[in-house]
Amino acid sequence: MKRSKRDDKLITSERIKAKGKLASEIAHELNTPIGAILMYSHLLLEDMPEGDPRRENIIKINKLANRCKMIVKGLLDFSSRGEPLSEKVQINQSIRNVVAFLEDHVLFKEVSIRMYLDPALPSIQGNENKLEQVFVNLIVNAAQSMEGKGTLTLSTEFLRDRNQVRITCADTGCGIDPNHMETIFEPFFTTKEDERGTGLGLSICHGIIEHHGGTIMVDSAKGEGSTFTILLPVVEEDRA
Ligand SMILES: Nc1ncnc2c1ncn2[C@@H]1O[C@H](COP(=O)(O)OP(=O)(O)OP(=O)(O)O)[C@@H](O)[C@H]1O
Ligand SMILES: [Mg+2]
């Protein structure tokens, strides 16, 4: 039986949901014991005199437990998608907030950031924190793909005829392997080595955008950069 591209997209979406559900259940189970490991290792350190050779191992335990905590936090964020969409979000302002927050980071030292924000962009109904989290994830990915050097272009546009807001985040980074174009949105898919990535960023973005009734897509050519596009619906009363 021949499967269409649309079928593939639906299957991917279902797979992301199923994996996400399992992941968030595991995260809930792990949250408490990891907190306890952190606390007890901390207490041990406090009791041990400076210069004790055993401190080194306890410091390692503490560091690794902290890393586990970070992963679990990512998983819990992934599962907190049911949050209310009760705010009128000014997307342009959210993007400016996120850029102001990130641009001093060393990752952006030699990145030139361009913004083309549509002044006629209507607000959308949603959750501002969650949408800012999406922009942070996309912008950090973009900076990482450029290894700190290149151009990041952020733009917004009101698509009047479709009653949608379009947001794009384009980089001049390493680009994405054509075989990875769908899998990048799955939880735990990462090409980043060591401890640089958990592979949760884009799956969180995917979940948040779907929860807002929108879509997120990617276009990329290996070695030539990537463009992520988000479409979000505008509620009728905000059009005026
Ligand atoms: N702008 C981009 N340019 C090139 N590759 C990208 C870009 N954004 C995402 N990717 C690819 O998609 C993968 C998954 O991205 P995702 O944000 O989900 O996880 P991560 O960045 O690896 O880890 P995390 O976000 O959890 O720290 C990345 O490892 C990378 O291979
Ligand atoms: Mg990421």
205-232 tens-digit pLDDT? 998 898 899 999 999 998 899 999 999 9
**What sign has the CA pseudo-torsion 89, 90, 93, 95?**
positive
* 238 pLDDT above the threshold of 70: no
Choose one of 107, 133, 152, 184 to mutate for the ligand 1 pocket test, by most ligand atoms within 8 angstroms of C-beta: 184
* 173 pLDDT above the threshold of 70: yes
Shortest-distance ligand to the CA of residue 185: 1
* 155 pLDDT above the threshold of 90: yes
Cα–Cα distance measured from residue 121 to residue 154, given in angstroms and rounded to the nearest whole number: 14
Beta bridge partners of 226: 171, 220
Same fold, 5-82 and 87-238: no
| pLDDT at 123 (0 to 100) | 96
Cα–Cα distance measured from residue 212 to residue 91, given in angstroms and rounded to the nearest whole number: 13
Q: Which DSSP category does 167 fall into?
A: E
* 3 pLDDT above the threshold of 70: no
When pLDDT is averaged across residues 156-180 and rounded to a whole number, the result is 96
When pLDDT is averaged across residues 18-44 and rounded to a whole number, the result is 85
- Lowest mean per-residue pLDDT among 77-86, 114-123, 132-141, 145-154: 77-86
For residue 199, how far is its CA from the centre of ligand 2 (angstroms)? Answer: 6
CATH no., domain 5-82: 1.10.287
* 53 pLDDT above the threshold of 70: yes
> pLDDT confidence of 79, banded at 50, 70, 90?
low
What would be the CATH architecture of the domain defined by 87-238? 2-Layer Sandwich (3.30)
| pLDDT at 118 (0 to 100) | 97
In the structure encoding, which two tokens stand for residue 81, read together?
A: 């998608």
When pLDDT is averaged across residues 166-179 and rounded to a whole number, the result is 96
| pLDDT at 78 (0 to 100) | 67
Shortest-distance ligand to the CA of residue 216: 1
Choose one of 192, 206, 208, 209 to mutate for the ligand 1 pocket test, by most ligand atoms within 8 angstroms of C-beta: 192
| pLDDT at 23 (0 to 100) | 76
For residue 197, how far is its CA from the centre of ligand 1 (angstroms)? Answer: 7
Shortest-distance ligand to the CA of residue 196: 1
The binding-site residues of ligand 1, defined as CB within 6 angstroms of any ligand atom, are 137, 141-142, 145, 171, 173-176, 184, 189-192, 197-203, 226
Q: Whose CA is nearest to atom 11 of ligand 1?
A: 184
> pLDDT confidence of 11, banded at 50, 70, 90?
low
What is the average pLDDT value for the chain, to the nearest integer?
A: 88
Domain ranges of the chain: 5-82, 87-238
Phi, psi torsion values for 39, nearest 5 degrees:
-65, -50
Q: What is the pLDDT of residues 102-134, one digit of tens each?
A: 988 888 989 999 999 999 999 999 999 889 999
When pLDDT is averaged across residues 170-198 and rounded to a whole number, the result is 88
Strands 225-233, 164-171: pairing is: antiparallel
pLDDT top residue among 20 and 125: 125
Please, how many CA atoms are within 13 Å of residue 122, restricted to the half-sphere of its CB? 18
For residue 62, how far is its CA from the centre of ligand 2 (angstroms)? Answer: 24
In three-state form (DSSP H/G/I as H, E/B as E, the rest C), the secondary structure along 208-230 is HHHHCCCEEEEEEECCCEEEEEE
